Amino acid sequence: MPDPTEIVLTSSFITALGLFAITAIARKLLVSKTVSNAPFELPLGNEDSPYQSPISNDLPPPLPAGKVPTWFYHPFDLFGLGVIFLVFFSLVIASVRTARTADLVLDPNALIFSIGFQFATAGAVAFIVTRRAGLVEWLGLRWRSWPWVFLIAPGTVALMWLFFGTLQATGYMKWMESLGVESVQDTVKLLQTSKDPLILGLMAFAAVLAAPVCEEIVFRGYFYPAAKKFAGPWVAGICSALIFASAHGSLSALLPLFIFGGVLVFIYEKTGSLWAPIAVHFCFNGATVLVQLIARIYQIPLDPVQ
């Protein structure tokens, strides 16, 4: 049976794009209809709506749901969302097609380029948004309840591992293997098999530091709230989680990472601070790297989901 990875990942990207587009257009038409039917006064605007009246441009209106603000996002950010979509879609499809004809080979230069790309993407996003709002205000970095992170992060990781274990017990990974899909992500495979200490060090840095910071800035810090501005929190959460999962280029990890992405959005909305999802992501990736290294040192056989 042919590997369905490319078809499924492509479908996931297209599903996210279609769901967002349909919802955003419907919301825009609904708001336009409401405004056109108003007898005289313009509505003050809604923080969770693509429409903003001139009266509400100076001050951020109250949040209708959650704690993640969207008042400083503009129609220009539709272009930003499109760029992120196209970049990750192109990278994933190219990676999947390359994997069909070549063995997994990553040298230090390739890993350094990958890390640099992550920081460059996060930096570009930060440059765009911080021209309208301060970094602290944008990402909610002044989080007064930050001690809760010491409960939120390990608790979330434990729940995610429980979910992954349930998938494993129900035969999810065996089903993936029956479809001809790799059950282990390339990054995890490198941690398991590489004998180059430089590669192992770069992989650990990319997983434990670069990914939690850069991916959270891009997917939760920018993509989710910008999508929320035009499509609402539920659709934005689903679309951002789906693209986040698809961007990792692994069919076997698509469902687990989709759930993980949704959980990170939920945590971001509940806390209003990107520190929380960064901490969860850091603990999750750090625990994964630690487990893989311990298993390798003590020659413990593992069959991980992620």
Q: Is 279 a member of any domain?
A: yes
Q: Is 53 a member of any domain?
A: no
What does the pLDDT read at residue 306?
40
Domain count, the chain: 1
Contacting residues for 127 by C-beta, under 8 A, at least 6 apart: none
Q: Is 260 a member of any domain?
A: yes
Contacting residues for 131 by C-beta, under 8 A, at least 6 apart: none
Q: What is the mean pLDDT of the chain?
A: 86
Q: Is 72 a member of any domain?
A: yes
Q: Is 237 a member of any domain?
A: yes
pLDDT higher than threshold 90 for residue 157 = yes
Q: How confident is the model at residue 110 (pLDDT cuts 50, 70, 90)?
A: confident
CA separation for the pair 45, 57 (Å, rounded): 9
Element (H, E) at 164: helix 149-169
Q: How confident is the model at residue 36 (pLDDT cuts 50, 70, 90)?
A: low
Mean pLDDT, residues 74-78 taken together:
95
pTM score, whole prediction: 0.88
What does the pLDDT read at residue 99?
73
What pLDDT digit, counting tens, does each position of 37-60 carry?
Answer: 656 454 444 555 554 444 344 444
254-271 and 275-297 are packed helices; what angle lies between their axes, rounded to 10 degrees? Answer: 140
CA separation for the pair 4, 114 (Å, rounded): 25
Q: Are the CB atoms for 47 and 70 separated by under 8 Å?
A: yes
Q: Is 243 a member of any domain?
A: yes
Token pair 């850091």 in the structure block, residue: 282
What does the pLDDT read at residue 296?
82
Q: 223: domain range?
A: 8-16+68-297
**Cα→Cα distances 23→2, 71, 127, 228, Å:** 34, 19, 28, 10
Mean pLDDT, residues 61-71 taken together:
71
Residue 56 DSSP symbol? G
pLDDT higher than threshold 60 for residue 79 = yes
Contacting residues for 270 by C-beta, under 8 A, at least 6 apart: 66, 67, 276
What pLDDT digit, counting tens, does each position of 276-288 carry?
Answer: 999 999 999 999 9
CA separation for the pair 257, 272 (Å, rounded): 22
Residue 224 DSSP symbol? H
Residue 45 DSSP symbol? -
What does the pLDDT read at residue 65?
60
**Nearest to residue 202, comparing CAs of 279, 288, 106, 124?**
106
Locate 273 and state its tokens: 């601070």
pLDDT higher than threshold 80 for residue 34 = no
What's the maximum distance between 2 C-alpha atoms anywhere in the chain? 74
> 159-168 burial string, b = 16+ CB within 10 Å, else e?
ebbebbeebe
CA separation for the pair 47, 65 (Å, rounded): 9
Locate 240 and state its tokens: 């951002």
- Between these two residues, 196 and 60, which has the higher pLDDT value? 196
| Cβ-based neighbour number of residue 290 at 10 Å | 12
What does the pLDDT read at residue 42?
44
- Between these two residues, 173 and 105, which has the higher pLDDT value? 173
Q: Is 35 a member of any domain?
A: no
Q: Is 215 a member of any domain?
A: yes
What does the pLDDT read at residue 194?
78
What pLDDT digit, counting tens, does each position of 228-246 carry?
Answer: 999 999 999 999 999 999 9
Of the candidate ranges 33-42, 181-190, 252-261, 292-301, the one whose mean pLDDT is the lowest: 33-42
Give percent of the chain with pLDDT exceeding 70.
Answer: 84
What does the pLDDT read at residue 104?
57
- Between these two residues, 290 and 55, which has the higher pLDDT value? 290
